Structure formats: C-alpha cells, structure tokens
Amino acid sequence: MEYLTHALKAWYEEKGIISEMTTPYNAQHNAKTERVDRTLMERVRAALLDFGAEEGLWAEALASVVHVLNRSPKSGLDVTPLEALKGRHPNVAGFCVWGSRAWALKLKKQQRKMEPRTDVGRFVVFTVGEKAYRILEDGT
C-alpha cells in the first residue's frame, strides 16, 4: 500500500491501467499473476535447457523472454503490450534466438594482425534502449 502514491494513481489512470490490491503473502488470490509467472518460468526453463546453460543465467533468460513477449501480439488485443503502453509499434528487426551463436567485433586497439577480429560467444540478453546485445563469450 505504501507504494501507491497519488502520482502513480494518476499515471495508471492516464494509461488506462486498473490497479487492484491483493492480500499480502497470498499469491493464490491472484490467479492471473500466478499464471503469467508460471508461463515465464516455463519459457526460461526451456531456453536454459535448449542452450545447455547453467541456472545462473536465469535472469538473462527471463529478461529476454519478457523483452520478446512485450513485443509480441497477444490474443484478444489489436496491439502488442509495448504498443499499448508507449503508443508506437515496437521494432523487432533485431530479434535473436536466445543462446544462439553470436560474434562480437573487437575494438581496433584489441585487434592483432593475424588474429580473428571477433570474439565468439552466445547471445544472452537484449539491451533495452540501445542497438546492442549482451554476449556470453565461449570458454574455448
């Protein structure tokens, strides 16, 4: 209750968001949220298993899952969730498969004459607001 300020209420109203309070420590009272949480974690688990990644990368996998879901069409909506919030169509041109092979161009200072100009790794997370990705370097 302490996080619900007048400014936040006004912002909710401006965006058409209906805020509903739930009983603390009773997650079962909010079935919609529980279903979303379960769906997200199922997708994260699938991404980690498909990539063969350790559980320590769950936060990066979750960030990527949420990034894609917010920019994907939903049944019953004419717009994506991000489009409904921001009022503009999201750019999905740079989508990558989580855990796919990726190459990071080395800076000119780091490039040596006969060495590769890129580091090889795996795509792990989108960088919000920038034209960049986070890449986990292969240990080879």
Q: Is residue 98 part of a domain?
A: yes
More confident residue, 50 or 28: 50
| 1 domain-assigned | no
CB 117 within 8 A of CB 105: yes
Residue 26 falls inside a structural domain:
yes
Least confident of 42-46, 48-52, 88-92, 118-122: 88-92
**139 — pLDDT class (breaks 50, 70, 90):** low
The residue segments making up the domain with residue 70 are: 6-137
- Claim: this prediction has a pTM higher than 0.85: no
Helix (H, G, I), strand (E, B) or coil at 68: helix
Residue 122 lies in a domain: yes
pLDDT single digits (tens) 5-20: 888 889 989 988 888 7
pLDDT given at position 41: 93
- Number of domains within the chain: 1
Q: 71: phi > 0 → left, psi -120 to 50 → alpha, else beta; which?
A: alpha
Question: Quick check: is 70 in a domain?
Answer: yes
18-35: pLDDT as tens digits: 887 777 777 666 777 788
